[in-house]
Structure 1
Amino acid sequence: MQMLYDSDSFVVVHMLPDADRSGATDDTPQPPQLVRHGFEIVDKRSGKEVYLDGSWAELFQQQILAWQLNTPTQEEVEDTLDGYIGLAQNPVVVH
């Protein structure tokens, strides 16, 4: 897990796949697992979050790469994140 962005309005976390999830202590073969990554975007204002994976994560990754090339303002970043929050259906729950 890697924190990418944190402001008064949003938090963005990149969820990285574990390199070794087998946990086996013997030579028993483990079934293959799909290695995926995703992004969690939390809207602190509304208390909702959205998790992007698959094609949504790939699109968001392209946005991040574009931001690295053309450093955006905080307003531009938050306008983009606000567009993704339209997908949010889950309230943030603290465990």
Structure 2
Amino acid sequence: MQMLYDSDSFVVVHMLPDAAPDGVNESTPQPPQLVRHGFEIVDKRSGKEVYLDGSWAELFQQQILAWQRNTPTQEEVEDTLDGYVGLAQNPVIVH
């Protein structure tokens, strides 16, 4: 897990697949697993989050690469993240 962005309005975390589960010897045969990554976007204003994986994650990854090439303003980043707020249906629950 890697924190990519944190502001008063949003948090974006990149969820990376683990190479091997904790406590598992890599020489021990494991059943095949789908290795996927995703992004969690939390809208602090509404208290909701959305998890992007699959093609949504790939599109968001392209956006991040574009931001790395052309450094955006905070307003531009927040406007883009605000576009994902409509997908956010899950309330954030703190354990």
For residue 30 of structure 1, report the CA deviation from its aligned partner. 1.6
Structure 2's unaligned 5+ residue stretches are none
5 Å-filtered alignment, 1:14-33, equals: 14-21=14-21, 23-25=23-25, 28-33=28-33
Distance 1:5 1:25, change over 3 A: closer
SS of the aligned residue for 1:86 comes to helix
TM-score, normalised by the number of residues in structure 1: 0.93
SS of the aligned residue for 1:93 comes to coil
Aligned-pair identity in percent equals: 89
Instruction: Give the Cα separation in 1 of the matches to 2:25 and 2:6.
Output: 38
1:28-66: CA deviations, max 9, x gaps? 522111100000000000000000000000000000000
Q: How many residues align?
A: 95
SS of the aligned residue for 2:4 comes to strand
TM-score, normalised by the number of residues in structure 2: 0.93
- Runs in 1 of length 4+ with deviation above 3 angstroms? 22-28
5 Å-filtered alignment, 1:1-95, equals: 1-21=1-21, 23-25=23-25, 28-95=28-95
The CA RMSD over aligned residues, in Å, is 1.6
